[in-house]
Every structure is written in C-alpha cells, then in structure tokens.
Amino acid sequence: MIIQKQKAFEEIMSALEGEEKVFIFGCADCATACKTGGEDELAQMKQKLEEQGKQVTGTYVLDTACLSGEVRKRGKELKEQLDASDSVLVLACGTAVQTIGDGLEVIAHPGVDSLFIGNVVRLGKYVEKCSACGKCILEETGGICPVTRCAKGLMNGPCGGYSPDGKCEVDPEQDCAWLLIYERLRERGKLGWMETVKDPKDYSTVSSPRTLVWEHKKEAEDK
Ligand code: SF4
Ligand code: SF4
C-alpha cells in the first residue's frame, strides 16, 4: 500500500489560486485506508473549499486511481463536470495524480504527499518494510529487509553502532534490523547465511523511471 498523508489545507489552497471550479478525485484503495481520499475526506475537502469560496463541480472516489483504464472510463462518464472545472484536486498518491492528469488531460493538483510503500499495522499506524529495490533478498535474511529496515541499508551487518538494548544508533526508536535478522536466522537454524559476505547492493535496479512490460504480451501485440 502507498502510505500517504494529506497536504496542509493552506498548501492546497495556494495550488488552487486563481481557479474557481474544482473537481475532486479520491481512491478507494490506499487513499481510503490512509484516510486521505475516501468518501469522508472528499466530503470534508468539498466543504472546506466551498467555505473558501471555491465551486466544487463534483467528487468521485475511483476504485483504483492508478489504473489508466478505470480513470479513462470514469473520465468519460464525468466529462460534463470535468469540462466545467478549471482543475482537478487528487486526494490520492502521486501516481494517481499523474494517471488522472495525463489520462484525462486535465490540470491535476496533488492533495496528498506519498510517503512510502507500507504495512498497515492498524488504522493510523503504518510501517515501511520494503522499498521496492527490484531484487529481493528476503530469502537470505530470514524475511527481514535490511535494504529498508537498516538505516544504512547495509547488506552485511550489524554495524558497530547498535545499542545494548538492540536499537539502531541512527534512530533509537527502531530495532536494529540486523540483530532482528540474526535472531530470525538463529531461530531457524540458518545462521550459516550470515557467514557469507554479500555483495554490495546493485542499485541499477532502482534507477527511475522504472517500467515493466510483459514480454509475452508485447510479442503478441507486435504480431
Ligand atoms: S530486498 Fe527489501 S526492498 Fe528489496 S524487494 Fe525485498 S523487501 Fe523490498
Ligand atoms: S545499528 Fe543496525 S539497523 Fe542501525 S545502521 Fe547499524 S546495522 Fe543498520
């Protein structure tokens, strides 16, 4: 899930300066789970914008706002309201903003800051466990990601900085990821994995922008 938080209302108002008519999109997926762009948040944003003299031409919570097909389909259904709008405010992740902006050829303002791919522990508590590095090594680390959960992203650890209570020297609120890995491997009788010195992380797999095209589909389309 893309963990996100809504921008300050002043920042949103500043982005909308000079625009009177605004349509608001949300997303039933991550944005609803993070309480940034579900039905309730769209209704609240509509009310706040109207109190500031904006005309809200409509609101719509897309099922999944990063799906081009869905965005185009809804865009056709909402054409009249969108045509009557100066711009669109998107209360969903940055991918959604661009999917909507590009797909519907509208000015799409981000109303949300996308933070990280996260695990929802419970409503209001979100934890980063994977940074989509493109080459997963969880098999060798007992299912605990050092790329993301070690503050230095070390491939061999722990460093010398962990505290006696097992916390990280960079952030004493966080457990040292490499101590967690050690304990996990010890429990599983796999400590031998720590004796192998791992190569430095190959960060060529995270150079942006990344794309993925299924080869079998591409071949079929090329025929
Ligand atoms: S190694 Fe870590 S960052 Fe990379 S894919 Fe696996 S969990 Fe994600
Ligand atoms: S103390 Fe542990 S988590 Fe923190 S930087 Fe060192 S190895 Fe990484």
| pLDDT score recorded for residue 207 | 84
Q: Which letter, b or e, does each residue of 138-165 get, where b requires 16 or more Cβ atoms within 10 Å of its Cβ?
A: eebbbebbbbbbbbebbbebbeeebeee
Q: Which atom of ligand 2 is nearest to the CA of 177?
A: 3
Q: Where are the domains of the chain?
A: 2-116, 135-206
3: number of Cβ within 10 Å: 20
- Entry pTM: 0.91
Topology of domain 2-116 in CATH is Rossmann fold (3.40.50)
Check if 162 has its Cβ closer than 6 Å to any atom of ligand 2. yes
Pocket probe mutation, ligand 2, options 144, 170, 175, 194, max atoms within 8 Å of Cβ = 170
Cα 120 to ligand 2 centre (Å): 23
Cα 127 to ligand 1 centre (Å): 14
Cα 134 to ligand 1 centre (Å): 7
Q: Which atom of ligand 2 is nearest to the CA of 163?
A: 1
Pocket probe mutation, ligand 2, options 129, 145, 152, 183, max atoms within 8 Å of Cβ = 152
| pLDDT score recorded for residue 166 | 96
| pLDDT score recorded for residue 114 | 98
| pLDDT score recorded for residue 222 | 67
Average pLDDT per block of 10 residues along the chain, 223 residues long: 97 98 98 97 98 98 97 98 98 98 98 96 94 95 97 96 96 97 97 92 88 80 67
| pLDDT score recorded for residue 205 | 85
Angle between helix axes 94-104 and 68-77 (nearest 10 degrees) is 50
Q: Which atom of ligand 1 is nearest to the CA of 141?
A: 1
| pLDDT score recorded for residue 216 | 75
Give the sign of the dihedral formed by CA 133, CA 168, CA 193, CA 201: positive
Residue 202: helix, strand or coil by DSSP? Answer: coil
| pLDDT score recorded for residue 38 | 98
Q: Which atom of ligand 1 is nearest to the CA of 129?
A: 7
